[in-house]
Amino acid sequence: MTALEAIPVVNDLIVKLIKRAKDRETQTLVQEIQTHQFVIQTGLVEANAKIAKMDADHAHAITAIRESSRLETAKLDAKIKELEAQLSPNPAHGLTAEIVRVLQLFFTHGNTDFSSQQIAHHLQISGSLAEYYIDELMNRGFIMQSQWPFADDDIRGGRPAAYRIDTAGRAYVVKTGIGT
């Protein structure tokens, strides 16, 4: 039996005790017990109401935390997919996001010739990485080595190789929409 279930039982017993009490002194003691019992009863009801409110608040807080967590997880999942898409190769041509950036550089500058050093400078990457990207684009026929003499002679007096976008590269950029 819980405290709340015991309250009506105690009330009934007190009422019976009042009816049986013959002298005034016993009746006074029973009434004092009844007063204290009422205070206890009121305290229990108030405590029970507070517990019910805390349970409701707790349930609401858990629901809010779960929803916030769900939204944050969805945002992070979307960001992960976005970053993975930037790093993963394009299935049609095996172009990573960085190689696409090099192709976009050629496309946006039309028939401008670029050396690997200039590409590295424009995209703020290493010269070796720029050369790798050039090789990848040359292998796909997206860029070609220029036939024109390049203006910047290197220290040894030779001319660094220069590259420009080819017809296939332009077509790829336009068809995929990466040039806009």
- pLDDT recorded at residue 14: 79
For a pLDDT cut of 70, what percent of the chain falls above it? 86
Report the C-alpha gap between 151 and 142 in whole angstroms. Answer: 23
Phi-psi map region of 161: left, alpha, beta (phi>0 left; psi -120 to 50 alpha): beta
Sorting pLDDT into bands at 50, 70 and 90, what band is 137? very high
* pLDDT for the residue 162: 92
User: In the predicted model, what is the mean pLDDT of residues 37-62?
Assistant: 91
Which of these, 101, 82, 98, 91, lies nearest to 179 by C-alpha position?
A: 101
Lowest mean pLDDT among 5-9, 20-24, 147-151, 159-163: 147-151
At 166, is the pLDDT very low, low, confident or very high (cuts 50, 70, 90)?
very high
Residue 153 has pLDDT above 50, yes or no: no
pLDDT at 93 over 60: no
Cα 86 from Cα 41, distance rounded (Å): 67
Q: Provide the pLDDT for residue 36.
A: 84
Total-model pTM: 0.45
Residue 143 pairs with which residues in a beta bridge? 165
